[in-house]
Every structure is written in structure tokens, then in C-alpha cells.
């Protein structure tokens, strides 16, 4: 046997145990990963709750078989079966389910974090832990603008989850979601962080979502999104779906935002937001290029409120905001979130570009609820929506004229508006061909409308008509 042949046999002989060792090492690595997920499940599950909500919801009146017009012709305005103005609407019992998790306790009170939308129409709230214990809960505070709510129960010695820092998350990092999808208690799913800083999705007023491919389904809302240290890095809130179920894209409110809101709700039952008085818009390529910037490298100041904190600090329309307390700004959503989270009375530093020169402006933060902010107007008949006059920022974003239209701020689930496909964030320009410029005008136009209400909407730069039927 030649020396070359002997060498070949020797190499083949040596490679067999090396390949076996590599395979064994790969299996062991997977086994360790599996054990890591199991450890997270054991640590997280005792703090997660199944939330059951009971309440009442307005229901639509049944449509008359031949329509109002025919009966009105024979019987006049007071024909049998016609709903009269001012008559209280009918309601029905409704129940819903969601998730939540313990994040703090004080004496004999335990605080649970969940989504505001989980608690809609709540008259009774019941929570159940993994070990079967059940408690009646009450709402400590709710902030629909961020979709964060806190409920409390009379209990002590319940394990609270530790907070993690969502700002340290990296795209591709493992995360674990736990909740009660479709009522299936304490279900765990695993995925990765698909993206960070998702804003302008039209889900909440204040958005900074973590995107994940960990399976999130109806019933998961309010459950924790945790890292492999079993620390809360987000609260599962929404999904992107064409089927109503999981399609690989879920969104969680980052822990940095959820924790700030939750602590305010526990302390004072409401949220106090910072106010600078600045309306910003996207920095497009045609504006950025002459300034030596790239698109998305900063945001353009469109308007500065007269007498606002920003105006007093010297900010001007046309300035480009590059940073907020040394953190780069890439879009308007980032600016809005950071301004809102700034503590009233504190001072923040805005990095700006003006006339080709970079400079810093120090701004003393005001309090948003001290401003003359437009209020939601609930006087919209039984359509199931609330509206308000658009803010300066919304006027720019929705391409409206000053004094034009109202913006939908909330749509009740299963309401006439919801069934017709109306969503928060849409601008209503006309009601039955009558222009509206305020919430009061909108309410009056709806009140005098007979039967159908035809809305002219502006969404995503396009206008369309939507018909709502109250018959």
C-alpha cells in the first residue's frame, strides 16, 4: 500500500470522530437554547395574568325591512319603530379577554400592566394567575394615547417581573412573548426582534414599537415581551394581519415608554406630558440635499407655537432638528415621543441646523395639559367615535388647511363606525356635504342628519366617502 493511500485512510479515520463531535456539539448548543427558553418560562409565567372583562356596549338599531323613506311617506315622522332623537340607545353585555403582568406592589396592593384597549367598556375586571388564584381588579389609571393601563388587586407577595432596558435591544436578539391568545392561558412563543422604533403606524397617538416575529394573536394584548434574562423589554400590543391572526409581524410597546407611563399612572392616576410647542415634518430628499444632509437625518421644523417654550428658546420654522438631548432624530414620531416623555420644568437640549451651522438650544419643558389643546367631543350620536380639531402637527401631516376638518381620535369596537372601517387618525372634512371645522360643528351635523351619515374622509393623502347607517 502506497504512502499516499495510507495517508488518505488516516485522514478519513480522524475526520469521523471530529464530525461526530461537531454534531454532538451542535445538538448540545440547541439543548442549552431550549433550556434557556424553559427557564424564562418558569420565571415569567407566575407573574402573567389572564384578564377577563365584562361590560356593556351600545348596539345598532335594527334596520326596518322597507327603509325609513317608504314608512315616512305613509305615517309621517313618528312612524312606528322609528328611533326618536334623544332616546337612549340599546346596549348589550359584552366580554373580552386579554393579558397582563405584575410589575409592582405596595403594601397589600399589587399593580398589573395591560393595554388600555383590553379594558374598553369594562364594568367588571377579573384576573387569573397560573396557579388558579383569581382576583377582582379595578382600573388604577389608563392612557389611551399610548394604549397603556394599570389595574390593581388587593393581594400581597405576588412576584413582579423585572424591567429591562428596551433601548439596549438589538435587531436579531431573541425575545419571548407570553400571554393568553384566544383564551389559551399562559402560552409562550419565541422569536427575534425584527425592527425597532416603528412609528407613524396609526395604532396609537404615541408610537415607538418594537417589531417582532414572536407569534402574537388576539388575547396576547398586554402580555410581556421579555429577553433571555426574563426582563420585560416590551408589552405586546398589536399585530399586522390580513386574516385577524398571526402573520409574522407583531408590535410591542417598549419598556422604556411603558414603564414611564405605568409609574405615572400608579403615582397620580393620569399621565403628564412635556410640551415644547413645535410641529415637525419629514425631511425629504429635496430639502435635505441642499443642506448637506441625507433624508431621515433630522426633522424639519414646520411651525413654532407663539409664546411656546421652543419659541422662547429661539427655535424658528425652517430649522432642522438633528438631536434631542444628544440622541439623533430620524423622524417626527421620535421627536414627539421624546418631547412628551420630557419632565415638565426640566431643560432639554435640541441640536439644530440653521443657515448651514450647527448649534444647540436649551429649552425649558412646559406641561402639555396646561396648553389649550383641543378636547375630544363625544357628542356624535350613536356612531361610536370621538373627534377633535386637528393639532398643528396633524394639519401638516394630513395636508389640511387651517380650520379644515376634524380628526378621529377613537372608535369604539363593534360600533357603527368600526363596522364601516373607520379608524383613528382619519380626517373628516364633510358630513353630508357640509364642511366641518370643529368638533362642535361635527356633532351638530351628525345630530341633524337623518338615517345615513355620509362622511368625506382624508386618509394618507387621499379623499374618499364613507357612509354610516344608523337605521
Fold of the domain built from segment(s) 277-365:
Pdz3 Domain (2.30.42)
pLDDT in tens, 62-71: 444 444 444 4
* 277-365 and 385-469 have identical folds: yes
| Lowest-pLDDT range of 79-93, 143-157, 207-221 | 79-93
Dump pLDDT digits (tens) for 332-367.
888 888 998 898 999 999 999 998 899 999 999 998
| Structure confidence by residue, pLDDT tens digits, 440-453 | 788 888 878 777 88
Cell of 268: 397620580
The active-site residue, picked from 105, 221, 308, 415, is: 221
142 catalytic? Reply is no
**CATH label, 385-469, candidates 2.60.120.460, 2.30.42.10, 3.20.20.140, 1.10.150.530:** 2.30.42.10
165-268 adopts what CATH topology?
Thrombin, subunit H (2.40.10)
Known catalytic residue at 360: no
Catalytic-role residue among 117, 208, 255, 458 = 117
Annotated catalytic, 147?
yes
- The pTM of this model reads 0.69
**Average pLDDT for residues 207-234, to the nearest whole number?**
93
pLDDT of residue 5: 55
> pLDDT band at 242, cuts 50/70/90?
low
Where do the structural domains in the chain lie, given as residue ranges? 165-268, 277-365, 385-469
Place of cell 405596595: 106
pLDDT digits 0-9 by tens, 103-128: 999 889 999 999 999 998 889 999 99
Q: Which of 68, 147, 213, 319 is catalytic?
A: 147
Mean pLDDT within 295-318: 87
Amino acid at each position: 500500500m502506497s504512502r499516499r493511500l495510507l495517508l488518505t485512510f488516516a485522514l478519513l479515520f480522524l475526520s469521523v470522530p471530529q464530525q461526530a463531535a461537531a454534531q454532538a456539539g451542535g445538538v448540545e448548543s440547541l439543548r442549552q437554547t431550549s433550556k434557556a427558553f424553559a427557564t424564562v418560562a418558569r420565571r415569567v409565567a407566575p407573574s402573567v395574568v389572564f384578564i377577563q372583562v365584562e361590560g356593556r356596549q351600545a348596539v345598532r338599531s335594527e334596520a326596518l325591512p322597507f327603509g325609513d323613506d317608504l314608512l315616512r311617506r305613509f305615517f309621517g315622522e313618528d312612524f312606528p319603530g322609528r328611533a326618536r332623537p334623544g332616546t337612549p340607545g340599546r346596549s348589550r353585555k359584552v366580554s373580552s379577554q386579554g393579558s397582563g403582568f405584575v410589575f409592582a406592589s405596595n403594601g397589600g396592593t399589587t399593580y398589573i400592566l395591560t393595554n388600555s384597549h383590553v379594558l374598553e367598556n369594562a364594568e367588571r375586571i377579573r384576573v387569573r394567575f397560573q396557579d388558579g388564584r383569581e382576583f377582582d381588579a379595578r382600573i388604577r389609571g389608563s392612557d389611551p394615547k399610548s394604549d397603556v393601563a394599570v389595574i390593581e388587586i388587593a393581594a400581597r407577595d405576588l412576584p413582579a417581573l423585572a424591567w429591562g432596558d428596551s433601548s439596549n435591544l438589538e435587531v436579531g436578539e431573541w425575545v419571548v412573548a407570553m400571554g393568553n391568545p384566544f383564551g389559551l392561558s399562559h402560552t409562550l412563543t419565541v422569536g427575534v426582534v425584527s425592527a425597532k422604533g416603528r412609528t407613524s403606524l396609526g395604532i396609537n397617538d404615541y408610537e415607538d414599537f418594537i417589531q417582532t416575529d414572536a407569534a402574537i394573536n388576539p388575547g396576547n394584548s398586554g402580555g410581556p415581551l421579555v429577553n433571555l434574562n426574563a426582563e420585560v423589554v416590551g408589552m405586546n400590543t398589536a399585530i399586522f394581519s390580513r386574516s385577524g391572526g398571526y402573520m409574522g409581524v407583531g408590535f410591542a410597546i417598549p419598556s422604556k415608554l411603558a414603564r414611564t407611563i405605568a409609574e405615572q399612572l400608579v403615582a397620580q392616576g393620569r399621565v403628564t406630558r412635556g410640551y415644547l410647542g413645535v410641529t415637525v415634518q419629514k425631511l425629504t430628499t429635496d430639502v435635505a440635499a441642499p443642506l448637506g444632509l441625507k433624508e431621515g437625518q433630522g426633522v424639519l421644523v414646520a411651525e413654532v407655537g407663539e409664546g411656546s417654550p421652543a419659541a422662547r428658546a429661539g427655535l424658528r420654522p425652517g430649522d432642522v432638528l438633528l438631536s434631542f438631548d444628544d440622541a439623533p432624530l430620524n423622524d417626527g414620531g421620535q421627536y414627539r415621543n421624546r418631547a412628551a416623555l420630557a419632565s415638565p420644568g426640566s431643560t432639554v437640549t435640541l441640536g439644530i441646523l440653521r443657515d448651514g451651522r450647527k448649534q444647540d438650544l436649551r429649552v425649558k419643558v412646559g406641561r402639555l395639559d396646561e396648553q389649550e389643546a383641543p378636547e375630544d367631543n363625544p357628542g356624535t350620536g350613536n356612531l361610536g367615535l370621538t373627534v377633535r380639531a386637528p393639532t398643528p402637527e396633524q394639519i401638516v401631516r394630513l395636508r389640511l388647511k387651517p380650520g379644515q376638518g376634524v380628526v378621529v381620535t377613537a372608535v369604539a369596537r363593534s360600533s357603527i363606525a368600526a363596522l364601516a372601517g373607520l379608524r383613528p387618525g382619519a380626517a373628516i372634512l364633510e358630513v353630508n356635504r357640509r364642511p366641518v371645522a370643529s368638533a362642535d360643528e361635527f356633532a351638530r351635523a351628525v345630530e341633524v342628519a337623518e338615517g345615513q351619515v355620509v362622511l368625506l374622509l382624508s386618509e394618507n393623502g387621499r379623499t374618499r366617502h364613507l357612509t354610516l347607517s344608523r337605521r
